[in-house]
């Protein structure tokens, strides 16, 4: 009799351990299999030579974070050529460039941007203060679109010329620090370091303790040139920091975790796509071989466990040729089933006639969107902004998206 009750107690204890470990599997970071796995073991990259280039009377300079210029030379009386190369290959066709240019004497030169391993993609932007940018749209292509040429007035004053406005890791940290004056924002935390030892930062937005809150995670800049996506994130966050009745109600139930720059090395090295180990970080969300993705996933899982909370929505801000929402197809049943579809429709309704394509996808690749689902059964979206989407539309849509997200999450 005594023996039976002892066995029964052991049985109960065993069942308890099994059941509680099942319930907590979201608090153990798991590795995931994909039909088409991606090899994210580190690869060699080429570092650009950082130096001041002089060709005739014209100077070009890549000695700043975010710069990319691989060579600069004069090819005839009035034509100067900038060579742009990727960090390694194969690589996505997103040829980032950024450099300073000036001349000993005022002159109008013919500037050629020549790309290795890509065709032209980004309209050149020019700035005299790195804050205000003007797009140069009048240029001509060479025969296979691997180079463009345009006229440029140069003088002693240096001008920045870049594929998109330059926003490097220092700019991003300054932006984060500027947010911490808002009472909804917690102090900036360092969650780990990049390959080259740059800090990876996050901050929380909400009221009171994380405990019992549902978590919305915001990510950005796994891919360095995707500045329009980052701009959308900034406007989205601005709206989340308004102190009004909507945010007041929202933060009683939710908390936002913001990771604004997942690839600081790639951004500061002026990479087209990869981190300093030559890897596309948005393919490493299954095996965590790269320190940036290892750190962010470890943090999200550990912090969720610590406060006994769960991410319910992950939004990853990117850029591509046109605005797109990558969402889940109907076969996935997240904790907020169909939320992103409803949300995207609601944004479209308010932004009419500006319409954004919805692209439902299966679980094909080890990207962040799929990780949120596999790890937490969370809903997720890749919020893609077009390379040339006008800044006022980026801002307006991001603000509408933030309001609409809060409103719908409170009803869901
Ligand atoms: Zn991207």
Assess whether pLDDT exceeds 50 at residue 21.
Answer: no
For residue 246, how far is its CA from the centre of ligand 1 (angstroms)? 30
Q: What integer pLDDT is reported at residue 144 of this predicted model?
A: 96
Closest CA to 225 of 55, 94, 84, 45: 94
For residue 355, how far is its CA from the centre of ligand 1 (angstroms)? 20
Q: What integer pLDDT is reported at residue 20 of this predicted model?
A: 46
Say which DSSP state 400 is in. H
Evaluate the CA torsion angle 160, 165, 166, 171 in order and state its sign.
positive
Quickly state the pLDDT bin for 36 (edges 50, 70, 90).
confident
Ion ligand 1, residues whose Cβ is below 5 A away: 223, 226, 318
> Percent of the chain scored above 70 by pLDDT?
94
Q: What integer pLDDT is reported at residue 210 of this predicted model?
A: 86
For residue 393, how far is its CA from the centre of ligand 1 (angstroms)? 19
Q: What integer pLDDT is reported at residue 362 of this predicted model?
A: 87
For residue 165, how far is its CA from the centre of ligand 1 (angstroms)? 16
For residue 112, how far is its CA from the centre of ligand 1 (angstroms)? 27
For residue 318, how far is its CA from the centre of ligand 1 (angstroms)? 4
Quickly state the pLDDT bin for 9 (edges 50, 70, 90).
low
For residue 175, how far is its CA from the centre of ligand 1 (angstroms)? 21
**Mean pLDDT computed over every residue of the chain:** 94
For residue 226, how far is its CA from the centre of ligand 1 (angstroms)? 6
Mean pLDDT of 63-90: 98
> Percent of the chain scored above 90 by pLDDT?
91
Say which DSSP state 187 is in. P
Give the residue ranges of DSSP H helices in 209-290: 227-240, 245-253, 264-268
For residue 227, how far is its CA from the centre of ligand 1 (angstroms)? 10
Q: What integer pLDDT is reported at residue 11 of this predicted model?
A: 54
Full-model pTM? 0.94
Domains and CATH numbers, the chain: 52-162 (2.60.40.3120), 167-411 (3.40.630.10)
Tens digits of residue pLDDT in 358-387: 999 889 999 999 999 999 999 999 999 999
Tens digits of residue pLDDT in 247-260: 999 999 999 999 99
What are the φ/ψ torsions at residue 307 (nearest 5 degrees)? -100, 5
Assess whether pLDDT exceeds 50 at residue 22.
Answer: no
Assess whether pLDDT exceeds 90 at residue 19.
Answer: no
Say which DSSP state 25 is in. G
Q: What integer pLDDT is reported at residue 17 of this predicted model?
A: 45
Q: Are 154 and 102 a contacting pair, CB within 8 Å?
A: yes
Extract the tokens encoding 90.
């194969």
Say which DSSP state 183 is in. T
For residue 132, how far is its CA from the centre of ligand 1 (angstroms)? 24
What are the residues facing 214 on neighbouring strands?
254, 310
Quickly state the pLDDT bin for 155 (edges 50, 70, 90).
very high
Extract the tokens encoding 321.
């040729």
Give the residue ranges of DSSP H helices in 73-181: 169-179
Assess whether pLDDT exceeds 50 at residue 207.
Answer: yes
């Amino acid at each position: 009799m005594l023996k039976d009750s002892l066995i029964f107690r052991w049985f109960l204890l065993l069942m308890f351990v099994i059941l509680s470990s099942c319930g907590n599997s979201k608090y153990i970071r798991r590795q995931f299999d994909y039909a088409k796995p991606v090899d994210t073991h580190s690869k060699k990259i080429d570092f650009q030579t950082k130096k001041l280039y002089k060709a005739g009377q014209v100077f070009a300079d890549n000695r700043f974070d975010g710069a990319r210029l691989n060579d600069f030379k004069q090819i005839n009386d009035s034509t100067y050529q900038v060579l742009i190369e990727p960090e390694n290959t194969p690589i996505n066709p997103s040829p980032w460039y950024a450099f300073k240019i000036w001349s000993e004497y005022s002159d109008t030169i013919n500037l050629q941007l020549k790309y290795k391993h890509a065709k032209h993609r980004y309209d050149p932007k020019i700035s005299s203060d790195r804050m205000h940018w003007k797009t140069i749209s009048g240029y001509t292509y060479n025969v296979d679109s691997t180079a463009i040429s345009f006229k440029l007035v140069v003088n002693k004053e240096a001008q920045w010329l870049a594929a998109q406005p330059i926003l490097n890791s220092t700019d991003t940290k300054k932006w984060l620090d500027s947010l911490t004056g808002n009472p909804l924002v917690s102090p900036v935390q360092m969650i780990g370091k990049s390959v080259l030892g740059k800090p990876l930062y996050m901050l929380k937005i909400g009221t009171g303790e994380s405990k019992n809150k549902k978590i919305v995670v915001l990510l950005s800049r796994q891919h360095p040139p995707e500045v329009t996506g980052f701009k959308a994130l900034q406007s989205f966050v601005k709206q989340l920091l308004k102190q009004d009745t909507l945010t007041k109600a929202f933060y009683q139930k939710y908390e936002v975790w913001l990771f604004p720059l997942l690839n600081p090395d790639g951004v500061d090295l002026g990479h087209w796509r990869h981190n300093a180990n030559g890897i596309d970080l948005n393919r490493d969300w299954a095996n965590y071989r790269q320190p940036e993705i290892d750190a962010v996933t470890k943090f999200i899982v550990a912090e969720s466990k610590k406060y006994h909370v769960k991410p319910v929505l992950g939004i990853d801000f990117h850029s591509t040729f046109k605005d797109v929402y990558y969402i889940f197809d109907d076969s996935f049943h997240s904790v907020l089933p169909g939320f992103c579809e409803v949300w995207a429709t609601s944004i479209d309704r308010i932004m009419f006639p500006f319409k954004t394509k919805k692209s439902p996808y299966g679980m094909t690749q080890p990207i962040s969107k799929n990780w949120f689902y596999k790890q937490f059964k969370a809903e997720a979206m890749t919020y893609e902004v077009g390379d040339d989407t006008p800044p006022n539309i980026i801002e307006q849509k991001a603000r509408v998206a933030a309001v609409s997200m809060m409103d719908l999450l409170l009803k869901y």
